[in-house]
Amino acid sequence: MKIKGKCALVTGGGSGLGQATAEELHRAGASIVICDLASSKGEAVAAALGERAVFVPADVTNSDQVAAAIKAGVEKFGGVHIVANCAGVGWAGRIISKTGPHDLGIFEKVIAINLTGTFNVMRLAAAQMSGQEPDGEERGVIVNTASLAAYDGQIGQAAYAASKAGVVGMTLPVARDLSARLIRTVTIAPGTFDTPMLAALPDEVRAALAEQVPHPKRLGKPEEFAILVRHIVENPMLNGETIRLDGALRMPPK
């Protein structure tokens, strides 16, 4: 899909991978709807991008709020043609710890945001895309964010790994579902990236994580994730696939 002149909805666009993706697609000529929590920096990111960007506060698990973000894209920019699902949360906790069994509410929250929230955005955006005129051979492109934890979940990552494995697992069936409507679906499974989620870790922990990556021996840069999102959007043969973006990293048990 040609990006110039299209509208991209980016969830989690107020920081990290989402912000980098919004900036990259904007540079490529897309108008941007940044969808993030009201407490995020989404409004500042949209303001920095300029007139081809708007911030709509939304929780991805809230259907009405997501629908409002999609509506903003239609009213301001003529439709929604690209979705980059970057919203997500991390959590670490063993299934049994010194305090007892894993908190079920936390598990449910991680699943709700990372998996159900991703699906919620996909279903509502796809409904909008399916009614739009196709650009050549496609109407829309959806790019989701999983994680290496979907494959190499570490100790304490049961909730996070389950949520991301769910995103990987639904990529192909959703791509098949939407193929008749000329909408592609692809997922990226990033390794350890230099995002706000890792920024809170001590420097020695961050250094140890970087050392585990075979090559390049460093944390990934959000703009490298964004470059892949752009390529997926522009390459019509990428569909129904999950792409690892990890520098050949395979996570150890802990």
Place of tokens 């991390």: 90
Report the chain's terminal Cα–Cα distance, integer Å.
Answer: 40
Place of tokens 């999102």: 229
Q: Is residue 43 within 8 Å of residue 36, measured between CB atoms? A: no
Residue 151 annotated to the active site: no
The Cα 139–Cα 130 span in angstroms is 7
77, 91, 160, 225: which is the annotated catalytic residue?
A: 160
- Say which residues have a Cβ less than 8 Å from residue 227's Cβ, sequence separation at least 6: 24
Backbone angles phi, psi at 160, to 5 degrees: -65, -45
Beta carbons within 10 angstroms of residue 62's beta carbon? 12
Q: Which residues of 119-149 are buried (b: 16+ CB within 10 A; e: fewer)?
A: bbbbebbbebbeebeeeeebbbbbbbbbbbb
Beta carbons within 10 angstroms of residue 11's beta carbon? 31
Of 190, 182, 186, nearest in space to 172 by CA: 186
Backbone angles phi, psi at 186, to 5 degrees: -140, 150
Active site residues: 160
